[in-house]
Structure 1
């Protein structure tokens, strides 16, 4: 055992030695170190971009180096010439070449525009421009068209510029060189940077931001790197092309490429590290498995002892739990029997399974007599509920609820019921739950409160109507006072016959509409026209609106019909309009707008005001009984309105903005619904 551990230890030491041992490699060409030219050699001035790493750049030692520089060092040695390298920005280099200040530019992208001015050598590198973009935006860019509405920073060069011109609504930000362009991206002055992949990765790594940005190198077309010379310099162009072909044929170009872009030594080192890591992990896992097996065997022995003793304890606890469940069932039974609501449960075939004491009292069943399913199903209340459920079954309703009116021994009772299906854990239905609530006393109280709320609103209307009636009464009194003296006057008689009947008709119309509102109402649904409905409302509310200085805007769809109780709807509309009057009491702009139209077989009525509006918290409570924001209100007006709308199979929605106004939207049926007459 000791020998085995020692062999493993020696192997690990040898592996770690291999990981951290230095590897050396030889380069076929050195960097752009300038040597003194021999006598008689021809000297060429070669311009190169000073920020285009790793192709041509000035390193930390101040030396001008890079792949392109190394390539030209090889050409110089092969052709027995000397190159004088002049680092500068691209726009400076093209200007210098045109003026004849330099003989060539290395590492220049070929384009049709540039080929009209310069002669290009054979391509010695092919690449595609990449888009450098922050990580959070990279997922949104799949093609160049996804760069719309963005600002792209780039070096001023025809190839890249022509590529982005094909993308609409792109803003350009030009930089003198790639390093400056990346600084614009780092400062947030641009959304993305367009450059070649190698240069971008070099400066991202140099800035320590390679993890913050994504390099997308699949979005553009490839372009060729070549050497640009003046069109007449065929000697230099021929020299360069000849050397490039020789390097390709001899394999020296590939060696130079591997040295700058794919380090073979690093790949071997990486593979070796991976193998060693895998071996260490495998050995660790083996020892871990052996150790865990030993620990598991020990634990298993302890667990057997523990389980044996725990089994005895579990038996004792099981007995305690059985007694607790029995007590809980008795406790639950007492709670259910003393609940205010009546509760009945049925199986899937509507056979009675349980019933509490409240349900017995509501159904007038004896406490002593055992109740059978047939006794329950014969009850008028249960019979009506099940009859309704049978007709609604085809609608696949998960919840059936409604209020039912029942006559018992000459008294009217109101019951609110809910019938819901019950499901097992696996989702299979196994019965029904029926809850009953006796609302007879609540109904009586609601009717009393509704009458009180109506009387309050009626008092507010009467104040306006009294003012409106006083005017025609004054004119009639004036005619009556003048009648004895001017009876013979024909002009007076004509005026009398003209104004007095009109005043009487006007007062009669107001009083009749007011009486319609005041008398008791019961739901009696029928089809009625909306235009005359709002004309009668206008006659009632107009005196109050004029007194308060409120403008009324009516916009009623011609020929619109509704199927509801017109009397209840009149009460709802008057309550909403009076609420709007109160809301605009202290407002400078007082406009009450009512719009009625048909939308997909639904009648929509919108009542809008320019009042004080409500907060979201107020809107969530505004329909609750006895909730009010008025000093003189009882908080039932909107509650009753909502109840009447629901009784007519409608919906009421509220939209309000504090300080801007409120809109109540009513949705009512426009035709007789199925099952109604």
Structure 2
């Protein structure tokens, strides 16, 4: 009886075992005669890099041949696809650098990670593994998990997956190695307490070094990682070739044969798997009996459940009718809102056929009174025809537009109107474009108000300018008038004549300075733009004021980005920089800390120069007027220096900004167009 039961179980398991243990592969899979194809006259050649110290996946054997599971896998792909792979054994960091620079076309056996996926494209995985930990057997304090590694030194190969794993363990020190072989050497020399790598590579080198009895492997320490092929972004042809070949190998069993050739189960593993399959079949049979009993009992309750569900369905239908009514009312409410909006709204389908428009759009397009507006009635209008032409022209020349907006002027009912339109593509949930939305806004009243505000602003600025000129000129005129009034009585007085000679020319000089500065401000001068090397230009300007800086005991520091280029008028920029530097020196007259920093760098396509001082700073109310003519915080200032600087920077297509804190210092920021670096 016992023999019969064993025979029955063996007969049941035979089909399963036939699937579990594939026939052993030939010594060289890619040399099988059945796989030989007629070679084309010229094969496409791909350069493939692989880790040279990663057995049994890719390594150089004792005969000097580059071999391994990954290498044989690619040899099979080359035979099947009719291409040629040239293999380049190297360390992993060399391979990633070579792939990024284009010296190779792909890296085989690279672990997938989110960081690497931003730089490269990955194929479908052809192997999945979990890192193991190699530790000495005689290590004090048994290591069973990652938390036991606190206070220890771990040697590992530099890769994002391993870093992410060990960064979650506190108080762990890292020792980086070029590869697993070098990592084991660190372990043998007791320069590390453990090695993190895959179990196959560790087992290979431990056995090769005769140290297998002195070390033990802790498997399944990390999370599973996918081994895949990495290519440069855009290399779709090679990526598709590899993915298709891997899929075919999985389907026809060639992958399983190659896997068994390099990672075949040992006899103990086969017996264990056979026992597991027998247990699995017995569990399936028991579950089937339970399911049959359950089905029988379930059928008895089915009629009662059907009646209950029918009643629930009737209630659901009633709720559905209520919801449909609510949706209908909501749609009517939305329709009323759309028809009474200030903006005109039109929608078109993919064929540019009119699908809807609101009452405001009819009013703006002079279509009021028409119950049914046809597409032809709308498309023949000059404004709509112009918008559609712009949309189609943009789509043909630049691809799919995201937004088209323009303000147009047109005659409508005998009046000049300014219409701002926005044309926006509409998409379905799946991302497919199904039409476009056109909104119309009448900006005629806004335009009129803008003109009035502009006129008022000009008059305010003119009044402020006249008041400033009058104030600045009145002071020296008052001084001169005083001397002229005293001239008849005190002309013979030598002391009076000395005072006259001293103060009257000074007053005239100040008046002349005010007039010249005013002329520079009011008379536009086209900048003579050049391409400047920022570092040398800034150093040449600072050299001019270096004696003043040393005299005032100010510490000057330059932080200029190498290779930064500026596009501007050098004379105007020099005057701007000198003005800002002198203002900064004046502001630090009474401060204890005297430090002036010039920072220059690139932000997108703009060059940014910052002048940071530790001076007295300014009040908030002063900042809003700092660039206005004749506004100054200095006792003897004219108030046109920063105004001219601001005007010159604007003429060079730039901008000037200010940040200040009272008592802590001021930062002036000059933004200018940046030139490209040499060779780019």
TM-score normalised according to structure 2 size: 0.40
Larger radius of gyration: 1
